[in-house]
Amino acid sequence: MRGALAGLLPDLRAFARFLCGSAQEADDLVQESLARTLRSLDAREEPVEDLRAWCLATIRNTFHEGLRARKREQARLQQVVPDPPSPPPQETPGQIRDLAQALKELPPLLREAVILVGAQGMSHQQAAAICKVPVGTMKARVSRARKLLAVALGRVTA
pLDDT digits (tens, 9 = 90+) for 84-128: 677 655 555 567 778 888 888 899 999 999 999 988 889 999 999
- Say what the pLDDT of residue 45 is: 77
pLDDT tens digits along 6-43: 889 999 999 999 998 889 999 999 999 999 988 888 77
Average pLDDT over residues 68-93: 73
Supply angle C-alpha 37, 22, 64, rounded to 5: 45
- Say what the pLDDT of residue 158 is: 58
CA pair distance 68, 110, nearest whole angstrom: 16
Supply angle C-alpha 55, 22, 150, rounded to 5: 90
Instruction: Report residue 77's pLDDT band, with 50, 70 and 90 as the boundaries.
Output: confident
Which domains does the chain show, CATH number per domain? 1-84 (no CATH), 89-153 (1.10.10.10)
Instruction: Report residue 1's pLDDT band, with 50, 70 and 90 as the boundaries.
Output: low
Give every CB contact of residue 144 below 8 A, 6+ residues apart in sequence. 110
Average pLDDT over residues 133-152: 93
Amino acid (one-letter) located at 150? A
Give every CB contact of residue 134 below 8 A, 6+ residues apart in sequence. 128
- What burial class does residue 156 get, using C-beta atoms within 10 Å of its C-beta: 0-12 exposed, 13-18 middle, 19+ buried? exposed
